Structure 1
Amino acid sequence: MTYWRPIPMTDPARHPEALPLAGGWCWFDRVERLSRSEPPAIMPLPEVPPEVLDRLASPRAPIAGLSWERPRLMGILNVTPDSFSDGGLFDAPDSALAQARAMEAEGADLLDLGGESTRPGARQVPPEEEIARVVPVLGAIRRHSPITLSVDTRKAAVAEAALAAGAEIVNDVSALHFDPGMARVAARAPGLCIMHAQGSPETMQLDPRYDDVVLDVYDMLEERVAAAESQGIPRGRILVDPGIGFGKTLQHNVSLLRRLSLYHALGCAILLGASRKGFVGVLGGAREARDRMPGSVSVALHAARQGVQVLRVHDVGETRQALSLQESVSGTV
């Protein structure tokens, strides 16, 4: 099998024959050809199959009212006692609502609410407990704001309750594997995020291995997108997430980030969640998650230069400021 990775550019001096990347702010005039049996090769556009170029260049459909002419910031709101970075800070409805308002004021385009930690080693939370954590906060936010809301859950019952309370996107870190009923519920949502993970949160970091992490992740996401389509969920309503830190070593994460633009070939909008994760701390010398904001912003800027449509972040204001500066100096606004 051949894989095609567009090489994104944001330079205002755009090549006259270049194509827009996913209809967004980046463009490309070369593609890296990848396979499991041959060395990578850089190809000019005339040597790339037309159907590949069409998928790479075609604009992605809006999801839950969000269009993709610029990177969108998804603010993380964990209403849990044990999330790796902010567990216990926003598990009371009043504090969660205050944080939601703060992130919206700082420039969040959407919010992702989670009631179950998926950090390495985290225990599974019963659906009724997860619903009790998430739904009151979702309802409170919806009463005060029209901002797009996402629910971060693996469970159909939680997703169903969240959609009824005003959520519009289901963010399933199990890619519809965990709960057989999730596809039926997600088919009614305006948006679904499918993420790659190797193993469950309880075991995923014990000894993750891949033949080729970049291509293995691609193959799994392609298979799960096709599975979602077979259950009535159009590709245009699906976001894909390579799952940084979910069953990956530091080198796996770095390899995925280096070739992040490959996942545009799936024909979906891309979501990246790397904020404050362990590899940021290792590479940036920040042991505590709360000290990883600068490194997280650096990864977000890299992702934006790769054409990633949704950046899932804890530090909304800092990331928005950095993006604004990058957009201005690169001439993409």
Structure 2
Amino acid sequence: MSIYYYRPLVQTGSERPQGALPLAGGICWFTTVELLERNKPSVFVPASRLPDDVLKRLTAARKEICGLTFETPRLMGILNVTPDSFSDGGRFNGAAMSLLHAKDMVEAGADIIDVGGESTRPGAVEVPREAEIARTAPVIQALRGILDVPISIDTRKAAVAEAAYDAGANMVNDVSGFTFDSALGPFCASNDLPVFVMHSQGEPETMQNNPIYENVIFDVYDFLEARVDALVAAGIARERIVIDPGIGFGKKIEHNLSLMSNLSIFHGLGCAILLGVSRKGFIRTIGGGEEPSARMPGSVALALAGVSQGVQLLRVHDVFETKQALQLWLAVIKGNLR
């Protein structure tokens, strides 16, 4: 595990001082880095004093994935084809409704469609592989016939991923960080599939039962670092791995807020970052919105907080609203419409 952790103090704006360095090749930049160790006070150092390998991971542009570049943030639209999704209550688990909703999300600005057939809300029980395949594979096959954007399968299981790949999926998004099914990583490697690796503490059924961390920032970082190293060893190139700190998965509200405040530390892993905060329960706790659909404003606020720290991808339910907010934010940051 890492001894030192490096958190760039991220800034935005078209005017940059001499010596400013790009953050992951994107629109954000930094001149100073917080150097952290476990159980020791942090220190702030000029970016120019960092080791070359650290600087390379913090500054290098992330490689394109399935034709998507990351000069500006990308949107992953959520398509739940489950009868018990926390966010939409199964509104889109019928084939016709799923296709219509996915098409609407792409027209609204989604760059990726993420199809999931197993609810991972707190308290959700595992879905049998056969049922998950029956929910997702036909929808993906139908989507492939009408959409040109990449399609991701949101699953923890190799058999489901294989059926999704055969149906036309381009990516695999695993909320267990490729720890649930040992066959999933090798399958993705053998088929050269980009992967999304998320941190989660515990299974969805029990993950919110008093999660405990020594230090949530370092613990999540160490987990993701270990999983990235394991996937690279399995044959998946680092540039085809996207990391996700797993907001709301086995975390109390203070854990979520700490992760949100320190997202830039994860650029030290040298991978693109996916942030999934859309309609999460802690939005209700802080800002209200009993029904998940009423948490759109809070979801957008968190999305912008993420991109202000250099996050490259946002996993969202409300694509149009997030896209509109992002376009305005980018226009202000750049000072123009280009």
For the criterion TM > 0.5, the same-fold answer is yes
Work out whether 1:330 is the aligned partner of 2:317. no
2:159 to 149, 152, 157: 157
Alignment of 1:229-308 (within 5 A): 229-308=232-311
Amino acid aligned to 1:159: A
1:116 matched to which residue of 2?
118
2:96 matched to which residue of 1?
94
Share of identical aligned residues, percent?
55
2:205 matched to which residue of 1?
202
Cα distance in structure 1, aligned partners of 2:53 and 2:137: 43
- Which stretch shifts more, 200-209 or 183-192? 183-192
**Secondary structure at 2:145's aligned position in 1?**
helix
**Secondary structure at 1:292's aligned position in 2?**
helix
Q: Report the Cα offset of residue 46 of structure 1.
A: 2.5
**Secondary structure at 1:300's aligned position in 2?**
helix
Is the Cα–Cα contact under 8 Å of residues 269 and 309 in structure 1 kept in the other structure? yes
1:175 matched to which residue of 2?
177
May I ask how many residue pairs the two structures share in their alignment? Answer: 333
1:40 matched to which residue of 2?
42
2:67 matched to which residue of 1?
65
Is the Cα–Cα contact under 8 Å of residues 78 and 87 in structure 1 kept in the other structure? no
Per-residue CA deviations over 1:87-109 (Å, capped at 9, x if unaligned) read: 31000000000000000010001
1:211 matched to which residue of 2?
214
Cα distance in structure 2, aligned partners of 1:110 and 1:25: 21
Q: Report the Cα offset of residue 280 of structure 1.
A: 0.9
Q: Report the Cα offset of residue 189 of structure 1.
A: 4.0
Return 5+ residue gaps in structure 1 as ranges: none
Work out whether 1:16 is the aligned partner of 2:18. yes
Is the Cα–Cα contact under 8 Å of residues 32 and 40 in structure 1 kept in the other structure? yes
1:224 matched to which residue of 2?
227
2:150 matched to which residue of 1?
148
- Which stretch shifts more, 181-190 or 113-122? 181-190
**Secondary structure at 1:108's aligned position in 2?**
coil
Change (3 A) 1:253 1:174: same
Q: TM-score, normalised by structure 1?
A: 0.98
Amino acid aligned to 1:299: L
Cα distance in structure 2, aligned partners of 1:281 and 1:189: 39
Amino acid aligned to 1:273: G
Return 5+ residue gaps in structure 2 as ranges: none
Q: TM-score, normalised by structure 2?
A: 0.97
**Secondary structure at 2:45's aligned position in 1?**
strand
Cα distance in structure 2, aligned partners of 1:285 and 1:90: 25
After the TM superposition, list the runs of 4 or more consecutive aligned residues in structure 1 that deviate by more than 3 angstroms: none
RMSD value, Cα = 0.9
Amino acid aligned to 1:31: V
**Secondary structure at 1:105's aligned position in 2?**
helix
